[in-house]
Structure 1
Amino acid sequence: MTQADPKPAVAGAPAAGPAADETLEDYTLRFAPRSYRRWTPMVVATTALGGIAYMADFSIGAGIGLAHGTGNALAAILVAAVVIFVTGFPLAYYGARYNIDLDLITRGSGFGYYGSVLTSVIFASFTFIFFALEGSIMAQGLKLGLGLPLWLGYLVSTFMVIPLVVFGMKALSKLQVWTTPVWLLLMVGPLLYLVGTDPGSVHRFVSYAGSDGHGGVNAASVLLGAGVCLSLIAQIGEQIDYLRFMPPKTEANKRSWWTAVVLAGPGWVVLGALKQAIGLFLAVYVLAKVGPAAATEPIQQFTGAFAAMLPSWLVIPLAVVLVVISQIKINVTNAYSGSLAWTNSFTRITRRYPGRMVFVLANLAFALVLMEADMFSFLNAVLGFYSNCAIAWVVTVATDIIVNKYLLKLSPHAPEFRRGMLHAVNPVGVVAFVAASGLSIAMYFRALGDTLQPYSPVAAALIAFALTPLMAVVTKGRYYLRRTDDGIAEPLLDADGNPSAATVTCHVCRQVFERPDVTACLTHGAVVCSLCLSTNRVGDHVLPAAEGPVTSGPAPRPR
């Protein structure tokens, strides 16, 4: 981003500080400008995929497999993967195409400017829940390898990510690119060795019946397992936090652009599902040696696998290295994405912008409390409950994009996120989300009987899918846009359908911003950026509502 020389701010407006150092803030609350997006599609994709190096998949796959058996677990993993891929695709496309994060997509896809605070909190919760899970796994590795007590391991795993998170996308891209080959080798190597040298391990894996004794595949067990796996559906938000830095899509790069979006967007779940299956395989392999409780711990799984192929003196150090690399790769992403989500929520509600680092520390504090409370011991219960909220949110937004935007044409095609352009609350997404998550949570806690309890994830998805277009039809799309004209003649999209790179200067912070990130300020006869709009307490920079009802109407569609 080209920055203008700082000038005194308008009286009563926020100082230039909030927008002055976007290298550290990584465009919190805002559109990511083209001038900052200098990575190739495949570098962005590699960075995004590096963030899914978490070990939680191994624990999740092991947990549902040891409980329900291999057949039910694999079916559950497949069901969840299909749902996550289908719902993640439109979200990833919108994030990469329009260079905005999932909260900004959610605002214009059925929730409204303040309505999406609900989902920002859901996503922020996702990041510290999984930070706590990964930190617990690392602490287990440090205890086994270095003898550190768990409480100290929790502290180490929490504070070691802070220096990396401070520097945002630039530091994260380097970290993910350089560590991914080592991580892949350490993860896949033991599996290939065991399959090749111990065929009996494959037979034990395939025939494992689970502790519930059902043996065969049954719907209740599959759906219970899928519910746990679907807690990861919100991972698409973290993928989009990287995909929003994709370069513009052009005729010259469209093949690599689409490849990167699919692989790093919904495609993350393919690797995630494989890791869950590997986790179950390794858990069955070490089950007789360590028992069912420890068999779900990745450090025990890989220690057992490495012991079969390496000298004894190398086993534990290598297992610890794998766990530490994995934890760093994912938890810098959890801390980074969580800080963005908390900042989004706080700034909209209070109209104060404290900076992203405040919420890095807040998110880490939440995660540390969960770790010290031994969240790992009741992992499946936490994830099973959380998945209902996450499913309701992601399915609602995906349905709004697919059905309401492209089929019913009641939702504007180009996502809108700026204050003044959106209604405070859009009942389309808010009603669908609250109804879907509320009813599915009631089912999960058996309020509607034991028989329906396994079906809570299905209920969350189906209710959100049905109510989202129904509410759009009932409201006739009136609550998506507060106005359609942002007061600037320059078009939002360029000839290729990408966000325009034309620049203007915000009259409040005196910084230069690209066209999609600004609106007119009629009060002062000038232009104001979205960040200054967010922090404008008086509201004199916010455009007035249009007279009469506003529907989405025709909008520019990307080619």
Structure 2
Amino acid sequence: MPENATRRPDLRAVIEDNALQSVPLDQRRSGWSLFANTAGVGSTLVVLGVGAAVTFTAGTKWGLVVAVIAAAFGSMIGWAVGRVCQATGTSSTVTARFHGLGTRGSALASLVFAFMILGFLALENALLYHGTIFMFGWEPSTANKIGIYGVLTVVWIVLTTFGLGLVQKVSLLLTVVCGLLFVVVTVVALDKSAVSLADVWAYTPPQVGFTEITAALSIIAGIAGALALVGADFSRYARTSGDVKILAVGGAIVVNIVVVAIGTIVFQAGNLVVAEHLADPTNAAQAASQAGATIPEKIAFMSSANPGAYFIVLSGFLGFLVMYAAQAKAQSLNTYSGSLALSNLFDAVFRRSPGRLVMVVLGNVIALLAIWGDILDRINSFLGLLGILTTALCALMIVDFFVLRRGAARPAERVEQFNWAGIVAMLGSSALASWLQDSGRTNLGFLVALVLCPLLYVALRSSLLPEGRGTSTVAATAALELAEKPTLRPHHDLAR
């Protein structure tokens, strides 16, 4: 361990936040202190809407069964990929250098993950903008866009500039506040609608079969890969494998069970309240501002594309507070993970990185350009494919670490520039899974990628594309330094 490892890090080190290096052992934290990050990134209005869509599709009873299955799946994949990053001490995209893609090949992981996470940053900035102008009755205008998006961007940059410490404090505070507000809004929705919990529990759509149940599973479990990669960025700070389990399992339970249950109650009860509000002639202007020709179409639009306005209609200023409490923590976490992915992308492609602070700013600029270029619908259309790609990436890293390397972090002497077996397996399995899903042959494209990618990778690694074929290797750098060295703890401790 370096001689200065126990010293208080200077400001530059705090800002850089080990973006391209292994987290030193003295900076590791407990799983409970990291748990707020995985819980916070998934407890948003968007995910509440996803939870409601699950039970609207499969019915409340089957929807909750699907939620439990998704929680188990998310826990396993979250722990496994988190364990890989905890062992190396590096972010998810830097870890792909050692396990799956190679030093320069890890640019593929950064491209996929950065596009997805910054897409969410842009989409959820737009959610906050539309919710804000709806709350105050403002008209969409250039001045309002500059003012609101400008303030939001500055806040995300400030919150994420000073590393994990500040991000974690903000996430913990807002997660607690958000949880309390979710409970209050749930009570308000039940009270205003006169819908009972028994009514919610009894809800079943006209037709529920295998197709509807697998569709519901795809809705919630399809984002598990992306959530696992976000969680892995925080798992690099975990002390032990047990700490990784806490943040992975806890986050999966919050996202897949708690949020789904709350979303189910709020939207099933709240739809009646929002429908009455929009049908009232005195609210004709607000109704006209939402897309859709009929009230049900407007509610569907608000639930999926403008949930901030939905919650404001449902509970007034309380809904406005819920919108900002839920989204602000997620946006700071999105910016944080996006900056890590961009840091690795620049280093992998150009062999240098201008620093994480520049990447924080760049990530927010990219989000603003996506909004300005009016390409949010196009980004949204790619999220299904990106969900499959992130699941394949997780599977690739997991099988390389646990199967090929037998649970040992990659030795730091030499690393491949491109791991062609991993690149082919990830892209090939994702392409097939996406085609099967888009052609209607299955709803479970993410599951196809999860199974096919590791099988293809192991087969290629042991035959056509063994280690070192078709590529050169490079000497280890600071980014390849292992956090868990055999001299620092016993071998049996590493395998925990």
TM-score w.r.t. the length of structure 1 is: 0.71
Match of 2:461 in 1: 472
Match of 1:172 in 2: 167
Change (3 A) 1:370 1:220: farther
Map Cα deviations across residues 204-254 of structure 1 (whole Å, 9 max, x no partner). 4344445xx5x22x232333333332124212222222222234x4xxxxx
CA distance in 2: counterparts of 1:304 and 1:284, whole angstroms: 15
Query: In the alignment, which of 82, 94, 101 is matched to residue 92 of structure 1?
Result: 82
Change (3 A) 1:435 1:75: farther
| Residue 127 of structure 1: how far off its partner (Å) | 1.2
| Residue 394 of structure 1: how far off its partner (Å) | 1.4
1:456 is matched by which residue type in structure 2? G
CA distance in 2: counterparts of 1:428 and 1:149, whole angstroms: 53
Match of 1:299 in 2: 308
1:46 is matched by which residue type in structure 2? A
Change (3 A) 1:68 1:375: farther
1:287 and 1:295 in contact (8 A); partners too: no
Match of 2:417 in 1: 424
Change (3 A) 1:154 1:92: same
Match of 1:241 in 2: 233
| Residue 55 of structure 1: how far off its partner (Å) | 2.5
Whether 2:435 is the aligned partner of 1:456: answer: no
Map Cα deviations across residues 88-134 of structure 1 (whole Å, 9 max, x no partner). 21211232344221123222222211122111111112211221232
Q: By percentage of residues, which structure has more helix? A: 2
Match of 2:217 in 1: 226
| Residue 143 of structure 1: how far off its partner (Å) | 2.4
Query: What secondary structure is seen at the aligned counterpart in 2 of 1:29?
Result: coil
2:189 and 2:270 in contact (8 A); partners too: no
Query: What secondary structure is seen at the aligned counterpart in 2 of 1:21?
Result: helix
TM-score w.r.t. the length of structure 2 is: 0.79
Whether 2:182 is the aligned partner of 1:187: answer: yes
1:387 and 1:457 in contact (8 A); partners too: yes
- Give me the CA root mean square deviation: 3.5
CA distance in 2: counterparts of 1:271 and 1:242, whole angstroms: 17
Match of 2:278 in 1: none
Match of 1:58 in 2: 48
Map Cα deviations across residues 168-190 of structure 1 (whole Å, 9 max, x no partner). 11211222233332222112333
Map Cα deviations across residues 373-410 of structure 1 (whole Å, 9 max, x no partner). 6777788744323222122111222233333333xxxx
Query: In the alignment, which of 119, 122, 128 is matched to residue 138 of structure 1?
Result: 128
Whether 2:450 is the aligned partner of 1:435: answer: no
Change (3 A) 1:292 1:381: same
| Residue 20 of structure 1: how far off its partner (Å) | 8.9
Query: In the alignment, which of 254, 269, 273 is matched to residue 285 of structure 1?
Result: 269
1:497 and 1:558 in contact (8 A); partners too: no
Query: What secondary structure is seen at the aligned counterpart in 1 of 2:178?
Result: helix
CA distance in 1: counterparts of 2:27 and 2:139, whole angstroms: 43
Change (3 A) 1:149 1:118: farther
Answer 1 or 2: higher relative contact order, Cα 8 Å, separation at least 6: 2
CA distance in 1: counterparts of 2:50 and 2:157, whole angstroms: 26
| Residue 361 of structure 1: how far off its partner (Å) | 2.3
1:128 is matched by which residue type in structure 2? L
CA distance in 1: counterparts of 2:161 and 2:373, whole angstroms: 27
Map Cα deviations across residues 336-357 of structure 1 (whole Å, 9 max, x no partner). 1101111111112112221122
1:287 is matched by which residue type in structure 2? N
Change (3 A) 1:32 1:196: same
Match of 2:158 in 1: 163
Change (3 A) 1:66 1:136: farther
Change (3 A) 1:80 1:474: farther
Consecutive unaligned residues in structure 2, runs of 5 or more = 276-298
Query: In the alignment, which of 197, 204, 229 is matched to residue 202 of structure 1?
Result: 197
Map Cα deviations across residues 273-329 of structure 1 (whole Å, 9 max, x no partner). 121332233222122333332234443554466xxxxxxxxx422221221122221
CA distance in 2: counterparts of 1:353 and 1:485, whole angstroms: 17
CA distance in 2: counterparts of 1:369 and 1:204, whole angstroms: 44
CA distance in 1: counterparts of 2:158 and 2:402, whole angstroms: 39
CA distance in 2: counterparts of 1:445 and 1:383, whole angstroms: 13
Query: In the alignment, which of 1, 4, 17 is matched to residue 26 of structure 1?
Result: 17
1:293 is matched by which residue type in structure 2? F
Map Cα deviations across residues 492-511 of structure 1 (whole Å, 9 max, x no partner). 3334249xxxxxxxxxxxxx
Match of 2:255 in 1: 272
Match of 1:120 in 2: 110
2:19 and 2:90 in contact (8 A); partners too: no
Change (3 A) 1:322 1:414: same
Query: In the alignment, which of 486, 489, 492 is matched to residue 496 of structure 1?
Result: 489
Consecutive unaligned residues in structure 1, runs of 5 or more = 5-18, 250-256, 306-314, 407-411, 499-554
2:181 is matched by which residue type in structure 1? L
Match of 2:294 in 1: none
1:49 and 1:239 in contact (8 A); partners too: no
CA distance in 2: counterparts of 1:343 and 1:284, whole angstroms: 42
Identity %: 21
Match of 2:70 in 1: 80
Match of 2:288 in 1: none
